[in-house]
Amino acid sequence: MRLVHSSALAVATVLLVSPFLGAQVQDTARAVTGGGISVPGWTGKVDPKEESAGQTLKDAKLAQEGGALHVTTGPAVTYWNPANKAAGNYTVTATFKEAKYMSLNDHPHPYGIVIGGNDMGTAQQSYLYCAAYGNGNFIVRGFGPEPFQMNGRRGEANAAVSKAVGPGEPVTQEIAVSVKGDKVECAINGTVVGSYDKAAVVTAGKLKSTDGIYGIRFAHNTDATVTGLTVTKN
């Protein structure tokens, strides 16, 4: 009986910490020293799971460094400036650089662009995001206000998504999310990696509209900079 119990315990531990198995990795979001938002006009909201654990915006950090926004998490968080709004047909673009891949974790975590933000900062907020990992994967998900997925539970791989050489090495992703007629698209490094019918995105339990606030989103325990956050009309 002891051997069986020990083996079961060992398997449970591996499933918890291994980034290479199919199980979901449940690492804990760590609080960032000196956290909070120091960029004028910007605000944010941590994910409900982290909020329920008592974490706040002070446990993550958004700072201005020259022409870049520097984000360090902490809890998973979405940041935005309420003045940044887009409507109709448009593309929101930004470049994300993880100077030291996986510097705050032992497996990849994503970061990317948010569009279609409505009721932001409330329990009823809705938005869509496309985010890249430094291992060549990407995800398209959102809140409506409950979480929803557009390309599966763990996202998918695409050759257009940059891969870091290894932990501690730099990796850069240019991410663009577009609304074009009846389509919503995500492009990474100039290649469309995901295209979705607008009717499948703006529907019950998902977006209220593709018109709304745009911003950035980071998973927990991640450190990267954002430059060139802009919107253009299509």
Q: What is the pLDDT of residues 101-119, one digit of tens each?
A: 999 998 999 999 999 999 9
pLDDT (average), residues 164-173: 97
Judge whether 182 lies within some domain: yes
Judge whether 14 lies within some domain: no
Residues in a beta bridge with 217: 78, 112
**Per-residue confidence at 154, pLDDT binned at 50, 70, 90?**
confident
Class of residue 128 by CB neighbours under 10 A (exposed 0-12, middle 13-18, buried 19+): buried
pTM for the complete prediction? 0.88
In this structure, what token pair is assigned to residue 32?
């960032």
Backbone angles phi, psi at 34, to 5 degrees: 70, 30
Judge whether 150 lies within some domain: yes
Residue 26: its pLDDT value, please? 56
Judge whether 8 lies within some domain: no
Cα–Cα distance list, 187 to 10, 87, 93, 106 (Å): 41, 19, 9, 27
In this structure, what token pair is assigned to residue 69?
């926004």
Judge whether 2 lies within some domain: no
According to DSSP, the β-strands at 147-149 and 156-157 are unpaired
Q: Which 3 state secondary structure label does DSSP give 36?
A: strand
Judge whether 11 lies within some domain: no
Q: Which 3 state secondary structure label does DSSP give 93?
A: strand
Q: What is the spatial distance between Cα 85 and Cα 115, in angstroms, rounded to a whole number?
A: 9
Q: What is the spatial distance between Cα 47 and Cα 43, in angstroms, rounded to a whole number?
A: 14
Look up the CATH number of the domain holding residue 75. 2.60.120.560
According to DSSP, the β-strands at 60-65 and 36-37 are parallel
- Residue 53's domain spans which residues? 30-233
Q: What is the spatial distance between Cα 202 and Cα 116, in angstroms, rounded to a whole number?
A: 9
Q: What is the spatial distance between Cα 48 and Cα 182, in angstroms, rounded to a whole number?
A: 31
Are 20 and 48 a contacting pair, CB within 8 Å?
Answer: no
Q: Count of domains in the chain?
A: 1
pLDDT (average), residues 211-231: 98
Q: What is the spatial distance between Cα 187 and Cα 112, in angstroms, rounded to a whole number?
A: 11
Judge whether 227 lies within some domain: yes
Q: Is the peptide bond before 75 cis (omega within 30 degrees of 0)?
A: no
Model confidence pLDDT, tens digit, residues 32-47: 999 999 999 999 999 9
**Per-residue confidence at 12, pLDDT binned at 50, 70, 90?**
very low
Judge whether 118 lies within some domain: yes
